[in-house]
Homo-oligomer: A and B are copies of this chain.
Amino acid sequence: MTAQPTPVDPPQLHHNPAFAQGMIVPAGPTLYVGGQNGTDNTGALLDGLGAQTEQAMRNVLAVLAEAGTGPENVAKLTIYLATGVDPGAAYAATRSVWGDRRTAVTVLAVTPARPGALVEIEAVATLAGEELE
């Protein structure tokens, strides 16, 4: 069992280069990243879908880094978009920060509870290097 999450892609499912159908994470401590909006360090929302989405993803990465892990250890991202937002534009903005790593993803159109928020992103990650032996 390696310390890295492992993508799961059954041959009978359509293969998508951008995400994995499932991810296996090894036993060990787990980090839950609460829903991140596109807010700066004063708590203010940035303007527009692209800026909010990139910032929300940067906030997720900041929580990962603070916990001593990183995107390579993320088991799943859940990306909540405000209803009416262009999913393609939002997804492109996530990728500009997230990069090409494949992980399990759910993308939904809902209404983030915070007024004016166009996107909210949460994550689950394993903590590399802290696995039990």
A residues with a Cβ closer than 8 A to B are 1, 8-14, 16, 19-36, 39-43, 59, 62-67, 75-76, 78-81, 83, 87, 91, 103-114, 120, 122, 124, 127, 130-132
Contact = CB atoms under 8 A, between A and B. Distances in A.
A62 B32 CA distance: 22
A25 B25 CA distance: 14
A109 B109 contact: no
A87 B80 CA distance: 17
B132 A27 contact: yes
A127 B22 CA distance: 13
12 contacts: A8-B33, A9-B66, A12-B62, A23-B31, A27-B28, A33-B104, A79-B113, A80-B108, A104-B122, A107-B112, A109-B112, A110-B111
In the A-B complex, the 9 residue pairs with the smallest Cβ-Cβ separation, listed nearest first, are A35-B106, A34-B104, A14-B43, A109-B111, A107-B113, A10-B66, A32-B76, A22-B63, A87-B113
A79 B91 CA distance: 21
A24 B29 contact: yes
